[in-house]
């Protein structure tokens, strides 16, 4: 018997909710799934349009979850790119998505490239988090060395 | 994006411990400025990853990072724990390791492919980082499983320069620690 049936939520640190919305919704084209505030804590999630899960919570480090000193440490790590790849987004046409997003000023770290396992590209959100966009295909194995 | 702060000036003030002793100091503004600088340095580092085969262009990278040429190398090292030159070397060696494993190109061709102009420098750098010559590495290595995404390979396959024997690297210092060092009695927040 499996312990779990799905991954429903994952989380990304952002430095500002509005700037995060401008990027994740305004530029990447994700949609807001939940947005409410309780006791100074804002629960903001985004996801792929039409897909129920997963929802990505966009959290700003700080009180009441952590003290300001700890929040400064988190912000330090995010802005120097130490959070690693936080999301991999699937697309049906990586080259087209890459061109569209690039035209909107999205900061790409790697252009769309065919790697054999699929076509992918890399970008950063405004804060330093790394995101990949992948158009997967069945791995064929490297010729002669599979 | 948030407004820019002159971080060169900030750097000088942090280094000399000046300008932060008065009670009206806006410490959140200081950490924000350092975080903005982190982000711009990260942009410069990303550019190095993309153009690894080209000569290290400190003036261009300093422009991307929005810091002066004179400050770029030091602030990069403070932020990422190694100099831009060393970071680029590891990037090039990581690419050369991949080419040695996955292609039949000669060592000389690979040396030029990844941006070294002299085989001697390439071999010396490669041996210093990997611990074996390019040819010996090629003989001993098996291809990486194909289903691993390239970005993952780029991250894990990059040879470390942080744990090399006899070459201790400076500890990576967070902006917060940097601030604490220069201004030990400072407290963040209200």
Q: What is the dihedral of CA A93, A96, A98, A103, to 10 degrees?
A: -160
Element (H, E) at A120: strand A118-124
Report the alpha-carbon distance of residue A63 to residue B46 in Å, rounded. Answer: 31
Residue A91: what are its φ and ψ, rounded to 5°?
-135, 155
User: In chain B, which residue's Cα lies nearest the Cα of A76?
Assistant: B35
Q: Are A121 and A133 in contact (CB under 8 A)?
A: yes
Domain extents in chain B: 28-81, 89-165+172-182
Q: Are B67 and A105 in contact (CB under 8 A)?
A: no
Cα atoms found within 13 Å of the Cα of residue A114, Cβ hemisphere only: 7
Optimal mutation site among A16, A17, A63, A75, interface B, most CBs of chain B within 10 A: A75
Cα atoms found within 13 Å of the Cα of residue B134, Cβ hemisphere only: 27
CATH class of B89-165+172-182: mainly alpha
Q: Which residue has the higher pLDDT, A145 or B49?
A: B49
Q: Tens-digit pLDDT profile for chain B (190 aa)?
A: 444 555 665 665 555 554 445 556 677 888 899 999 999 999 999 999 999 999 999 999 999 999 999 999 999 999 999 999 999 999 999 999 999 999 999 999 999 999 999 999 999 999 999 999 999 999 998 666 655 666 766 776 777 766 554 444 444 555 555 555 555 444 443 3
Touching check for A145 and chain B: CB below 8 Å?
A: yes
Q: Are B119 and B111 in contact (CB under 8 A)?
A: yes
A:58-97 residues touching chain B, CB 8 A cutoff: 67-69, 72-73, 75-81, 84-85
ipTM value greater than 0.90: no
Its pTM stands at 0.79
Report the alpha-carbon distance of residue A91 to residue B137 in Å, rounded. Answer: 37
Specify the range with the lowest mean pLDDT, choosing from A47-61, A126-140, B65-79. A126-140
Structure tokens at A36: 């409410």
Report the alpha-carbon distance of residue B26 to residue B31 in Å, rounded. Answer: 9
Quick check: A68 and B35 CB within 8 A?
Answer: no
Q: What is the dihedral of CA A69, A74, A77, A78, to 10 degrees?
A: -140
Place of tokens 């991949």: B98
Touching check for B28 and chain A: CB below 8 Å?
A: yes
Element (H, E) at A133: strand A130-136
Cα–Cα distances (Å) from A29 to A49, A120, B174, in that order, read: 8, 18, 33
Report the alpha-carbon distance of residue B133 to residue B126 in Å, rounded. Answer: 7
Using CB atoms, pick whichever of B150, B152, B176 lies closest to residue A69.
Answer: B176
Please report residues of A whose CB lies closer than 8 A to that of B1. Answer: 19, 126
């Amino acid at each position: 018997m499996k312990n779990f049936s799905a991954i429903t939520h994952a989380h990304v640190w952002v430095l500002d909710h509005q700037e995060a919305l401008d990027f994740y919704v305004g530029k990447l084209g994700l949609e807001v799934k939940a947005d409410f505030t309780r006791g100074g804590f804002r629960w903001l999630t985004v996801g792929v349009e039409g897909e129920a899960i997963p929802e990505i919570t966009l959290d700003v480090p700080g009180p009441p979850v952590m003290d300001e000193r700890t929040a400064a440490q988190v912000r330090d790590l995010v802005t120097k790119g130490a959070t690693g790849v936080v999301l991999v987004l699937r697309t049906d046409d990586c080259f087209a998505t890459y061109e569209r997003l690039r035209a909107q000023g999205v900061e790409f770290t790697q252009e769309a490239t065919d790697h054999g396992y699929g076509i992918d590209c890399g970008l950063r959100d405004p804060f330093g988090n790394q995101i990949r966009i992948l158009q997967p295909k069945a791995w064929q194995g490297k010729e002669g060395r599979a | 994006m948030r407004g820019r702060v002159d971080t060169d000036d900030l750097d000088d003030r942090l280094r000399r411990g000046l300008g932060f002793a008065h009670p009206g100091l806006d410490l959140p503004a200081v950490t924000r400025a350092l975080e903005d600088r982190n982000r711009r340095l990260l942009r410069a580092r990303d550019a190095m990853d993309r153009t690894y085969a080209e000569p290290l262009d400190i003036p261009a990278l300093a422009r991307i990072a929005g810091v002066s040429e004179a400050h770029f190398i030091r602030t990069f090292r403070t932020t990422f724990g190694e100099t831009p030159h060393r970071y680029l070397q590891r990037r090039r060696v990581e690419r050369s390791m991949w080419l040695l494993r996955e292609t039949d190109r000669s060592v000389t061709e690979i040396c030029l492919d990844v941006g070294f102009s002299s085989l001697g420098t390439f071999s010396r750098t490669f041996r210093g980082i990997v611990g074996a010559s390019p040819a010996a590495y090629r003989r001993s290595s098996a291809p990486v499983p194909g289903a691993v995404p390239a970005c993952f390979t780029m991250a894990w396959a990059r040879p470390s320069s942080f744990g090399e024997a006899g070459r201790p690297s400076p500890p990576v210092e967070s902006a917060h620690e940097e601030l604490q060092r220069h201004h030990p009695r400072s407290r963040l927040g209200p």
